[in-house]
Structure 1
Amino acid sequence: MKKNYYQKMAVLGMLLLALTFFQNYTEKSDEKFPELTFISEDLPVESISEFDPNELDENQWQKLGFSDKQTATILKYKKIVGGNFLSKEQLKKCYAISEEKFTQLEAFILLPETNSEAKGNSNFKSFEKKSLNITRKFNPDQLSQTDWENIGFSEKQAAAILKYKSYLSGSFVSKEKFKECFIINEENYAKLEPYLILPAKTPANFNAYSGKSNSFKSKTPQTSFDPNTLDVNGWMALGFSEKQANVIVNYRDRNLKGSFKTLDDIKNCFVISAEKFEELKPYIKLNPSTMTKSSDDKKQEFKQEKTDFSKTDMNSITFKQLLEFGLDEKSAGSMIGFRKKLGGFMTKEQILETYNIDKELVQKLLSIAPLDNSKVERHTLVDAPEEWLKNHPYFKYSADKIIYFRISNPDDKKIWKFLKTKPEYEARMRLYVK
């Protein structure tokens, strides 16, 4: 009996072991893979300038548009690769920097293209950190490239600071705005702040985009002037920002073939408001000798039809028409290029997402021009061509998963469920889905 009892206990023990093993195995097989997280593609608020990524601290990475977690990952990756990024190739491998974001920043990164190029280029080195040399209080609006370099900034950094000032319509306005300069880190700002001759706070009515900072208040001319002889500085002296002055000069030289012929030509320039035109009108003196066209050419030009932007579809507007409206070549080219990649815009909000555009001018254009998306190519996830999925800006990062899932689940609803994309990415993709 004892023998039978021990045999039964042994069998029972083996069964319990087998059951435990099977349970552990099934639990492991049900283990879920970690979900993929997608990186935000928000654009930086400030204008981007050339920079050395080895110099940027946490605050400066965030000013470029990265979140706290993304910034922490980038700085951790920097330590892993030895404390310095050697090349763009190496920086691109950091998974916190998406391909789209890297493409946006690539032209401004001061690094060799590849690791081998970096190791083989003895002339390449990262900016050496210098201590700042400040001996007296100063107004940063009055400093030149050389002045910033004498303080202790590199040539590239000094140029970036001046570019940021230009972005603010020619004046830093306040210590708050100066602190937001992407190239000036917290440490350097703390050293500079006691010496800055600027108001501490930004005026409530400050508007950098429309050129309404304190340095660019409306200025009434003291004498009459010929608008055909004014350069950018001349228009700025009349109260326009540098950006506005460039638009006026481009409008005159490109669209009007070199000269204003009538007061209406000046009035029709987009950046000259009705109020500003009435202010300038008594002082405008159009001199026939400075007009580039003869009277016959003038009559012929009046016969030419100008673009009616209220009837111009944003999905068919041309590069030349965008220039006519006042956009520069970079903005116009970016918009046409982005539209081509998408196959056409579905909403006006998409147009404002285009990199390197003058958002103020484009916003004005969008308030006038219509958008017809009826001819834009759309597909279901099941039937979408592989080439279209892999090349479309909104689908290319999910293309492989879509192609894989639809083999065994040819149903759009199931594919969306498996993709598990962020709501904002799914919303963009659904614009192009039937």
Structure 2
Amino acid sequence: MKPPFQFSAAKNYFLGFATSGAILLSGLFYFDHDKNEENQTNPTEQIEFTNVEKTELQEFDPNDLDENGWKKLGFSDKQVATILKYKNIVGGEFTSKAQLKKCYSISEEKFDELEPYILLPDKAENSYESTNYKSFYNSNQGNYEKKELKIPGKFNPDTFSSADFVKMGFTEKQANSILKYKQYLGGSFISKEKFKDCFIISEENYRKMEPFLLLPEKTPENFTAKTNFRNPSSEKEKFSYQKFDPNITDLEGWRKLGFSEKQAQVIINYRDRNLKGSFKNLDDIARCFVISEEKFNEMKPFIVMNPQNFKINSSTSTSYSKTENAPEAKTDFSKMDLNQITFKQLIEFGFDEKSAGMLLNYRKKLGGFVTKQQIVETYDIDKELAQKLVSTARLDHSNVPKYTLVSAPEEWLKSHPYFKYSADKIIYYRISYPSDEKIWKFLKTKPEYEARMRLYLR
């Protein structure tokens, strides 16, 4: 009886081992499958652009865009929420392109696409970005020079001015930002909860102030924050609309419809430049960035589209008439080098002053044109007139500065439109890898960006 018992025990041991192995393999397979499923259902924010309907780009001030305006630029709901939150963090208003670029929801490629259309200076005129921006993020971590708060006993922050917050221990910029946050809430901090939410006020400082705050503990359930920092009134301004033709409405007319001067100018520029002088239908108006969906629906019943006021490529025909009907023109443009053409000669050819200035400014930033297509693609110029110019004139790019990635001056890399977004990486990599071929491998730029950059490389 002994041998059968040993055989049975061995058999049971083997079956138990095999079963355990099968369970382990199944678990690993399930984990790997679950992980792949998770990766497939959690795409990065940058991929979200592919599912968002975008519209034709035009000049815009990011401070004038609401949620719908950012969506029209091609951002997802999640990205728009992040951008608007970032705007609140920096004080309720973007002051420069450099500051906007720091928003992590805007990829380098997306910013590169939008940058020519952004109506902001490249850098802030003062040190607001470098000091105030850091204070928002670093104040919560204690990475700046701390100032001890001097709390004047019980107080209601709703009654405090900027000077009062400065006396308490905040910097002037922080004090102004706190008041902007109050303005955002509608003119009152509402509750201790809302006061605590102010990005400027660190957790440590709030704990010190909390016992002295004369505010309700909780926020009312029906409270909704305002979305426009620059409109402190608690009630929306009402407008008595009348019938109007958007194709003959001037700057003052758009302002009377409730737009700011800057917004009105953007609408006129959009009509006169992007649409060649006139809105052809209601969709043209709705696509303008500074006209929110709500505002468009308010105006829609009063819009009159009179075909007699439509203009057909008026700017182009005007430009052509200047060149074709101007007997005083003396320049032989067939002999003119596009890298030497002057402002007066561009005006003589038919460009308006702004277009001529844009073209020459772009040429200066590039260090000279290398292809004629660069001229046609210059931002905000008459494409047909530009095409006529490049078909007539010649292009000599023999004197355009060109370098290797290893030898290119740092200043040149950081200022050149094609290299500036990769400049820091190039400078970093070439320290350890003094070879253009290896630097390209580390850069991993998109093929179209690399092709543009190679135009200016030896």
Mark yes or no: TM-score above 0.5: yes
Return the match for 1:215 from 284, 309, 313. Answer: 309
Provide the rounded CA distance (Å) in 1 between the counterparts of 2:431 and 2:363: 30
Q: How far did residue 432 of structure 1 move?
A: 1.6
1:60 matched to 2:37? The reply is: no
Q: Which residue number in structure 2 is paired with residue 179 of structure 1?
A: 286
TM-score by length of 1: 0.57
Aligned residue type for 1:174: N
Return the match for 1:154 from 260, 265, 271. Answer: 260
Return the match for 1:423 from 443, 447, 458. Answer: 447
Q: What are the equivalent positions in structure 2 for 1:269-280 lying under 5 Å apart?
A: 269=326
- Paired positions, count: 308
Provide the rounded CA distance (Å) in 2 between the counterparts of 1:102 and 1:431: 21
Name the % identity: 45
Q: Which residue number in structure 1 is paired with residue 392 of structure 2?
A: 368
The alpha-carbon distance between structure 1 residues 112 and 77, as it changes in their structure 2 partners (threshold 3 A), is farther
**Deviations 1:216-272, CA, capped at 9 Å, x for gaps:** 57xxxxxxxxxxxxxxxxxxxxx9836755886xx5xxxxxxxxxxxxxx8434xxx
TM-score by length of 2: 0.55
**Quick check: 1:173–1:214 contact (8 Å CA) kept in 2?**
no
The alpha-carbon distance between structure 1 residues 372 and 158, as it changes in their structure 2 partners (threshold 3 A), is closer
**Quick check: 2:335–2:393 contact (8 Å CA) kept in 1?**
yes
Q: What are the equivalent positions in structure 2 for 1:310-329 lying under 5 Å apart?
A: 310-329=334-353
Q: What are the equivalent positions in structure 2 for 1:15-414 lying under 5 Å apart?
A: 45=56, 47-48=58-59, 51=61, 53=63, 55-61=64-70, 63=72, 66-69=73-76, 72-73=78-79, 75-80=81-86, 82=88, 85-88=92-95, 91-95=100-104, 96=106, 101-102=114-115, 104-107=117-120, 114=128, 126-127=230-231, 130=236, 133-134=239-240, 137-167=243-273, 168-198=275-305, 215-216=309-310, 241=314, 245=318, 267-269=324-326, 306-414=330-438
Aligned residue type for 1:268: N
**Quick check: 2:59–2:119 contact (8 Å CA) kept in 1?**
no
The alpha-carbon distance between structure 1 residues 166 and 132, as it changes in their structure 2 partners (threshold 3 A), is farther
3-state DSSP of counterpart to 1:357 = coil
Q: How far did residue 186 of structure 1 move?
A: 1.3
Q: How far did residue 428 of structure 1 move?
A: 0.8
Provide the rounded CA distance (Å) in 2 between the counterparts of 1:107 and 1:337: 17
**Quick check: 1:312–1:370 contact (8 Å CA) kept in 2?**
yes
**Quick check: 2:277–2:315 contact (8 Å CA) kept in 1?**
yes
Provide the rounded CA distance (Å) in 1 between the counterparts of 2:324 and 2:376: 27
Q: How far did residue 153 of structure 1 move?
A: 3.2
The alpha-carbon distance between structure 1 residues 47 and 310, as it changes in their structure 2 partners (threshold 3 A), is same
**Quick check: 1:85–1:91 contact (8 Å CA) kept in 2?**
no
Gaps of 5+ in 2: 1-43, 133-171, 184-228
Root mean square deviation of aligned Cα? 4.3
**Deviations 1:275-300, CA, capped at 9 Å, x for gaps:** xxxxxxxxxxxxxxxxxxxxxxxxxx
Provide the rounded CA distance (Å) in 1 between the counterparts of 2:173 and 2:318: 42
